[in-house]
C-alpha cells in the first residue's frame, strides 16, 4: 500500500508556540523554552497535500466563478517607486442583481494561504449570496498562494527586506483598493460591501470594518482572536481550552495525555529508547530526539480541538464527528496493562490515520523554515502563549519574550513589535473601544475552539454582536451547510443572516433606495 502524502500535512504541525523543551539527557521532563513559532491557524493546510488540493477543486466545482488578477502597489503607504504585484481574486457575479438595484458585494478577507482553499471551505458565503442578490469576491492575501511580490515565492521570501511588505495593514489596503477599483469599473460605487472572514481572516474582517468603515458596511468575524496580544487575555487560554475539550470527554483520557510527556522522555532516555518509540509510533524514519515526537502529538491534540465538529469532516484529515470523543474512546478502551504511550498512539491514530491507510508516519518538518506566517509572527503578530501546570494537559511553560526576540533576529534580522497591533487596531479595553467607535460586526465563536478564548464573546451593542455556541469549533458557521448540521448551528447562521439583512436595510434606507425584495424576505437564506 502506498504511503499517503502525510508529510506535507505534518509540515504544519507547529500550530502554536512550541511548548516543548529541548531533550536533555539528564532530565526526566521537558525544560520549557520560549520559541517564536507563532500560533498556527488552519491556513497552512491550504497548500498541504494533493488530497486536499483535489478536494478543494471538487468543492469549488459547485461554485461558478472567475479567477482574475489585479495589479497592486507593493507599498500603499509610501510613494517610493517599487514593483507592483499581481493579486489573485475569485469573483462570481452569477447571482448579483447589479448596480442599478444596489446589489451587495460579499467580500471574504483572504487568510494566510491559497485563496481557493478558503473559498472551498466557506460555503456559507456562496450559499447565501443568491438570496441576497450578491456578488462574491475572494481576494488572496499578499505573499500567499499565487499573490507573490517579486515574481515568485523564492524571491518574496528571500530575506527580511523582501518580506517587509507582508503586514496586515498592507493586506487590508489591498482589499480596500481592489474593491474600490472593482466598484468603479462596474459603476457600482453605491453598492454595499459586507465582509467575511474566519480565523486570521476573521481578524482582518473585523479590523477592516474598523479601519475602513466607508468601504464596508459590516463584517462577520468568525473565530477571530483579535485579543490574543499584549497581556489582554491570559496566555494559557489556548492550551486550557484544548485540555478542557479532552477533559469533558474523559478525565482519564486527560490524565493519560498529561502523564504521557514524562513517559515519553523517560522512554527516550533508555538504551535503544528512541528506536523503540520509532517502532511503537510506526514512524517512517528513526527518531532523532523525543521533541520531534512530542511536537507531532501536540499538533494533533491542538488541531483536534479546532476541528471538533459534530459531524464527519475532511477539513484537515478524514475525521469522525466529535473526533476528540473518539480519541478518548480509543485511549480509555485499551486492554488493562497497555502502557501510557501505547494508549496515546491508539488515540492519536484517530487524527493521523482514521482511514487506516497509512503505513508509517512522517515527522520531517523544518520548523525554522522561512515562510509568510513565521515572518508575520516575528514582526507584528506577536501572540504569547503559555501552558499552566494544573488546567493544561500539556507540559508547563511560560512565554519568554527575550528568547523569542533572539530567534526572530537570528532568522530574519528583525525585532518584533509586540505592541504594534494593539496600537494600530486597538484591543485594550475592547468593549469601550468598540462601543465608542464600532458598529455592524458579528463575532461568532464556538467554545470548543481554543481560539474562542481570545475573541469577543460578549455583546457590545445591538449591532456589535457576539454569537456563541457551546458545541461549535473553529469557524464552523462559515462552512457549507450539511444535512447533519445540528439545530444550534442552523440557528447561529440564521441569526447572522438576520443581522446582515438589518445592516443592508439600514443602508438602503439611508440611501433612500427601495429595499431589494430578495433581501427583504430572505426566504432562501432563512431556510438554510
Catalytic residue numbers, as ranges: 199, 449, 474
All residues at 6 or more sequence positions from 68 whose CB lies less than 8 Å from its CB, including other chains = 88, 89, 90, 91
Rounded distance between C-alpha atoms, residue 521 and residue 509, angstroms:
16
End-to-end CA distance of the chain: 41
Residue 141 Cα to chain centre, angstroms:
14
Rounded distance between C-alpha atoms, residue 66 and residue 89, angstroms:
8
Which residues are registered as beta bridge partners of 397? 387
| CA proximity to 373, closest of 3, 11, 50 | 11
Report CA-CA distances (Å) from 85 to 82, 148, 371.
10, 7, 18
Q: Which phi and psi angles does 397 have, rounded to 5°?
A: -160, 160
Number of H helices, E strands in the chain: 21, 8
- Other beta carbons within 10 Å of 83: 9
Number of residues assigned to the chain: 528
All residues at 6 or more sequence positions from 382 whose CB lies less than 8 Å from its CB, including other chains = 38, 229, 230, 404, 416, 417, 418, 421
Cβ atoms of 243 and 147 closer than 8 Å: no
Rounded distance between C-alpha atoms, residue 87 and residue 172, angstroms:
13
Rounded distance between C-alpha atoms, residue 169 and residue 211, angstroms:
10
Rounded distance between C-alpha atoms, residue 115 and residue 117, angstroms:
5
| Torsion sign across C-alpha atoms 243, 249, 255, 256 | negative
Cβ atoms of 226 and 203 closer than 8 Å: yes
Opening angle at CA 240, ends 235 and 242, nearest 5: 120
Cβ atoms of 405 and 416 closer than 8 Å: yes
Rounded distance between C-alpha atoms, residue 299 and residue 257, angstroms:
13
Amino acid at each position: 500500500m502506498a504511503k499517503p502524502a502525510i508529510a506535507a500535512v505534518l509540515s504544519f504541525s507547529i500550530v502554536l508556540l512550541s511548548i516543548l523543551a529541548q531533550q536533555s539527557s539528564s532530565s526526566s521532563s521537558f525544560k520549557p523554552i520560549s520559541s517564536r513559532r507563532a500560533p498556527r491557524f488552519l491556513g497552512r493546510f491550504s497548500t498541504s497535500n494533493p488530497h486536499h488540493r483535489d478536494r478543494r477543486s471538487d468543492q469549488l466545482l459547485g461554485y461558478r466563478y472567475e479567477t482574475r488578477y489585479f495589479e497592486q502597489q507593493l507599498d500603499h503607504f509610501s510613494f517610493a517607486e517599487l514593483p507592483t504585484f499581481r493579486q489573485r481574486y475569485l469573483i462570481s457575479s452569477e447571482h448579483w442583481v447589479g448596480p442599478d438595484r444596489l446589489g451587495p458585494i460579499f467580500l471574504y478577507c483572504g487568510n494566510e494561504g491559497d485563496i481557493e482553499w478558503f473559498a472551498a471551505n466557506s460555503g456559507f458565503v456562496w450559499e447565501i449570496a443568491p438570496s441576497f442578490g450578491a456578488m462574491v469576491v475572494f481576494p488572496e492575501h499578499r505573499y500567499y498562494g499565487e499573490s507573490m511580490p517579486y515574481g515568485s515565492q523564492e524571491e518574496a521570501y528571500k530575506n527580511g527586506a523582501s518580506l517587509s511588505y507582508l503586514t496586515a495593514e498592507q493586506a487590508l489596503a489591498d482589499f480596500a483598493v481592489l474593491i474600490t477599483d472593482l466598484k468603479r469599473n462596474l459603476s457600482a460605487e453605491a453598492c454595499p460591501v459586507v465582509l467575511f472572514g474566519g480565523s486570521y481572516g476573521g481578524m482582518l474582517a473585523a479590523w477592516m470594518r474598523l479601519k475602513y468603515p466607508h468601504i464596508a458596511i459590516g463584517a462577520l468575524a468568525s473565530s477571530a482572536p483579535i485579543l490574543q496580544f499584549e497581556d489582554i487575555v491570559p496566555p494559557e487560554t489556548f492550551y486550557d481550552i484544548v485540555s478542557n475539550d479532552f477533559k469533558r470527554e474523559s478525565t482519564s483520557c486527560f490524565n493519560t495525555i498529561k502523564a504521557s510527556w514524562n513517559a515519553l522522555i523517560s522512554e527516550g532516555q533508555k538504551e535503544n529508547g528512541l528506536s523503540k518509540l520509532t517502532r511503537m509510533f510506526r514512524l517512517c524514519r528513526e527518531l532523532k530526539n523525543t521533541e520531534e515526537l512530542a511536537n507531532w502529538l501536540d499538533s494533533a491534540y491542538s488541531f483536534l480541538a479546532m476541528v471538533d465538529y459534530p459531524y464527519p469532516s475532511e477539513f484537515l484529515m478524514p475525521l469522525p464527528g466529535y473526533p476528540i470523543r473518539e480519541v478518548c474512546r480509543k485511549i480509555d478502551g485499551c486492554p488493562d496493562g497497555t502502557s501510557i504511550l501505547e494508549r496515546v498512539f491508539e488515540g492519536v491514530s484517530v487524527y493521523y490515520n482514521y482511514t487506516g491507510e497509512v503505513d508509517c508516519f512522517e515527522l520531517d518538518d523544518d520548523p525554522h523554515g522561512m515562510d509568510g506566517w513565521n515572518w508575520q509572527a516575528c514582526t507584528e503578530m506577536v501572540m504569547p502563549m503559555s501552558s499552566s501546570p494544573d488546567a493544561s494537559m500539556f507540559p508547563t511553560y511560560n512565554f519568554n519574550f527575550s528568547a523569542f526576540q533572539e530567534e526572530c533576529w537570528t532568522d530574519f534580522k528583525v525585532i518584533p513589535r509586540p505592541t504594534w497591533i494593539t496600537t494600530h487596531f486597538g484591543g485594550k479595553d475592547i468593549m469601550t473601544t468598540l462601543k465608542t467607535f464600532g458598529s455592524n460586526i458579528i463575532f461568532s465563536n464556538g467554545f470548543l475552539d481554543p481560539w474562542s478564548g481570545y475573541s469577543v464573546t460578549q455583546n457590545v451593542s445591538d449591532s456589535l454582536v457576539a454569537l456563541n455556541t457551546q458545541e461549535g469549533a473553529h469557524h464552523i458557521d462559515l462552512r457549507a451547510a450539511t444535512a447533519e448540521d445540528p439545530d444550534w448551528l442552523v440557528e447561529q447562521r440564521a441569526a447572522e443572516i438576520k443581522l446582515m439583512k438589518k445592516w443592508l436595510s439600514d443602508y438602503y434606507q439611508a440611501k433612500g433606495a427601495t429595499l431589494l425584495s430578495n433581501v427583504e424576505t430572505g426566504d432562501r437564506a432563512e431556510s438554510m
